[in-house]
């Protein structure tokens, strides 16, 4: 049957788009090297399921007297998402430990850590009962 260790997915969202505009070329190159080393370690350990930077361009769609498309994609640029990692983790603590290693934190970037909802909770309950019944 199923083992005790379960893993679940966590999303790291990197917030802040203009924090890097004030870095010098040398600093950019240094932070980039650190970021890459960090990223590569996670890939090697099989932790990353998916990861992408996001372009700054984009639109925002809202409901205001019908559909509204505004230039965006965000109200506050410092809160905008510049990229994400989708991680396969044992628990939230592991995801937080990884987020704390982000080399851009000290320059003002924030990392939001969110568990990915695997499936809807009531469906999980049904599945558990089914598993119990057939064991």
The residues of the shown chain that bind another protein, judged by CB under 8 A, are: 20-21, 23-29, 31-33, 35-37, 39-40, 51-53, 55, 82-83
**Tokens, residue 21:** 């505009």
Q: How far is the CB of 57 from another protein (least distance, A)?
A: 10
Q: How far is the CB of 101 from another protein (least distance, A)?
A: 13
Q: How far is the CB of 124 from another protein (least distance, A)?
A: 33
Q: How far apart are CA 62 and CA 53, in angstroms?
A: 24
Nearer to another protein, 37 or 60 (CB): 37
Contact 118, 8 (CB under 8 A): yes
> Which residues are CB-contacts of 30 (< 8 A; sequence separation ≥ 6)?
none
Please name the residue ranges forming H helices in 1-135: 25-44, 92-100, 121-134
Nearer to another protein, 19 or 72 (CB): 19
Nearer to another protein, 24 or 119 (CB): 24
């Amino acid at each position: 049957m199923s083992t005790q260790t379960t893993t679940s997915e966590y999303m790291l969202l990197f917030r802040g788009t203009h924090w890097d505009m004030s870095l010098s070329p040398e600093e950019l190159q240094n932070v980039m090297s650190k970021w890459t080393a960090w990223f590569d370690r996670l890939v090697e350990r099989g932790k990353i399921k998916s990861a992408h930077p996001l372009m700054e361009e984009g639109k925002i769609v809202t409901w205001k007297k019908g559909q509204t498309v505004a230039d965006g994609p965000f109200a506050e640029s410092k809160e905008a998402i510049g990229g994400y990692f989708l991680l396969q983790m044992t628990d939230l603590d592991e995801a937080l430990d990884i987020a704390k290693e982000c080399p851009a934190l000290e320059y003002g970037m924030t990392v939001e850590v969110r568990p990915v909802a695997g499936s809807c909770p009531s469906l999980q309950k049904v599945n558990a009962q089914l598993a119990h019944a057939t064991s």
